[in-house]
Amino acid sequence: MNRQIVYIGVITKEGQPLDLQDFRSNKEISMSFVVYSCLDIVERKIKELAETREYSQNYLGYLGPALLGEGDYALYGWVSFTGVKFIVVILENYEQRNDEKIKAFLQNIENLYQRTMSNPFYSSQDFSSSSFLKKLQKQISNL
C-alpha cells in the first residue's frame, strides 16, 4: 500500500499528550498543532457515539483533511474505553483510502499502548524508549 504515516498522537482523556511521534524528515510545520486542532472533532464524535449508545465503537474514522504546504494529509481517530485518544496523520492518497486497514492499525496501536501501560515497571519515559519506537515502527510497516 502506498500510504505514509507521518504522525501519531496519543492524548489523554484530559487532553494532555502521552506520546507525539513525528515520522517525517521535514519537520518545519508542527503536526502537533494539526492533531490538537482536530480534538474538537474527536470530542464531537465521542458525544455522538454516546448519544447513539454505540459504546462498542472505538474507531472514529476519518476526522478531516490537513492541507499543508508540503502535501495533503488525512487525520483518523480512535478512542479507548478509558478515553485515551489516538490520532494518526497520513499522507493522503485518495485512490487508495482503506478504512479497514487504518482501523486495524489504530487498534494495534491501542494494544501496544495497553501492553506498555500494563507493564508493572512502566514509567512515563516508556513511550520514548527505543523498544516502544521499534514496536511502533513495526506496526507502521505492516500498514
Strand ranges across the sheet with 71-79: 17-22, 4-11, 85-91, 71-79, 59-68
pLDDT in tens, 42-96: 999 988 888 887 666 889 989 988 877 667 889 999 999 888 999 999 887 666 6
Helices 99-118, 130-142: axis angle to 10 degrees equals: 160
pTM: 0.83
Which residue in the block uniquely carries the three cell numbers 474505553?
81
Q: Within a 10 A sphere around the Cβ of 68, how many other Cβ atoms? A: 13
